[in-house]
Amino acid sequence: MFHQDRGAVSGGVRDTARADEHLLDESLLVEPDVRRRPWREFLGSTPGRLSLLAVALVTVALTAGIVTSVVIDARQQRMETLRAHTEPLADAAQHLFSSLSVADAAATSSFIAGAIEPLAVRDRYNQAIADASNALVTASYGVTSGDVDTLRLLTEMSRHLAVYTDLVATARSNDAAGNPVGVAYLGTASGLMQDTILPLAERLYNEQSGAVADTQSHTARLPVTAILVASAGVVVLAAAHTYVAHLSRRRINPGLACAAVLLAALVVWIVVAGLLSTSASERARTDGAEPLAAVTKARILAQQARADETLGLLRPGFDPAGADYTRHTDALTAILNSDASRNAVVAPAIDEASAAFEGWRSAHRELQQKLTDGNYQGAADIAVGPGSTASTATFRALDEALDDAITTLRTEELDAMRESYRTMAALAVAGIVLAVTAAVAVIAGIEPRVGEYH
């Protein structure tokens, strides 16, 4: 009985096992737990693509504004440096050279005049030294702390000028006491001026006038980078407008159209202001800096020739047809007759300078004839005498005419530089304002289209 029951149980277990083999495992019907990424789904949808497009277009608009602002601001800073530092320093260097030359000529004239120094000559010397000191101070204000070379030049000139004035004072005291050594001291002082101080002043002027020309040449170009970036922004916005209008089945998207118009207005503003600014910069260069450099060079040459004339009378064995005088006057003649100095605004002053130059050369030829005849006193009277046809008067007329031309040309240059700066003064800020407004318009144009899918 027991065995029978056990067999029955065993058979039942086997039947249950067979039945279980044919049952379906319901757990196999459940999908595996896959990690879902809703942001991928969103970006793959139309609202997601529109949102990405909005971010890209905002970036494009802001980039156009930032690039425009940076380019224009750098240009304006360069021009401000030119107006506030470089150009005033070049002008101070020109006045420095002129004042030093006048001082040296006045010091020499006092010795040529004889034992009693004319009061007018002494006053001219003192005024020239004061003007040179003022020019040094003005020049030092125009130099940045990082411009080591220019600061070194000004320091050397200051130091040498102090030595020069001491030598001239010693020469005068010895001459007043009747000591012949006074001429030797004057020769040393004049040698220091001609060989050291004036070359330093001329080097300072050449460097600063070169910097002025370089800056003006650079600012006489259109801001191409800003124009290209802003134009690219207009093209991108126009293409995006076409895409969104097609997607939303509307002809115009007001926000994107407004953004494109704003960037197009920025491009037009940059081009128009750039053309006006570059035209003014070019005028500052062609009607200001270039003729100014020529006339300034002419004045320097005239002063060098005057120094050759007066110093020669104190040197033993003076050659009436001195090589230095001839070289300087020939170069001066070439400049006065060249187109470089014949600016329409200063043509009358240049004509006046040419007439005075001819009078001076006539006086010099008479001086040479007196020396050839052995009449030193007659030559000295022509060189430093008070007559209206003497060298002093004719040279002063030449120098004043050139100084008037320099002043007029500098005024023309500064006016053109101010105009060039003014035409683009508001563009750096306007670029940012227009770009931000365009970015807001982009958002306003796309946000409603995204909302339609919610």
pLDDT digits 0-9 by tens, 24-69: 455 544 555 445 566 565 555 667 788 888 899 999 999 999 999 9
| Cα separation, 206 vs 258, whole angstroms | 52
Range with the largest mean pLDDT of 46-50, 115-119, 387-391, 414-418:
414-418
C-alpha to C-alpha distances, 357 to 26, 106, 284, 386, nearest whole angstrom: 118, 19, 28, 17
Q: What average pLDDT is seen over the chain?
A: 83
Residue 271 lies in a domain: yes
Tally of domains within the chain: 1
User: Residues 116-145: pLDDT tens digits?
Assistant: 566 777 888 889 999 999 988 888 877 777
Q: How many CB atoms lie within 10 A of CB 124?
A: 20
Residue 308 lies in a domain: yes
Residue 28 lies in a domain: no
Question: In the prediction, which pLDDT does 374 show?
Answer: 81
Residue 219 lies in a domain: yes
Angular region, 369: left φ>0, alpha ψ -120 to 50, beta rest? alpha
CB 405 within 8 A of CB 288: no
CB 244 within 8 A of CB 53: yes
Question: In the prediction, which pLDDT does 45 show?
Answer: 64
User: Residues 185-239: pLDDT tens digits?
Assistant: 888 898 899 889 999 998 988 888 888 888 888 888 899 999 999 999 999 999 9
| Cα separation, 76 vs 70, whole angstroms | 10
Show the domain range for 276: 48-312+319-451
pTM of the model: 0.78
Residue 41 lies in a domain: no
Residue 170 lies in a domain: yes
Residue 332 lies in a domain: yes
Range with the largest mean pLDDT of 2-6, 102-106, 263-267, 450-454:
263-267
What secondary structure letter does DSSP report for 285?
Answer: I
- Among 66, 77, 57, smallest CA distance to 434 is for 66
| Cα separation, 39 vs 190, whole angstroms | 86
Amino acid found at 136: L
φ and ψ at 128, to 5 degrees? -65, -40
DSSP letters of 236-257? HHHHHHHHHHHHHT-S--HHHH
Burial bucket for residue 324 (CB in 10 Å: 0-12, 13-18, 19+): middle
* 425: three-class secondary structure by DSSP: coil
Residue 331 lies in a domain: yes
Q: What is the dihedral of CA 128, 132, 133, 137, to 10 degrees?
A: 150
- Among 338, 328, 332, 323, smallest CA distance to 296 is for 332
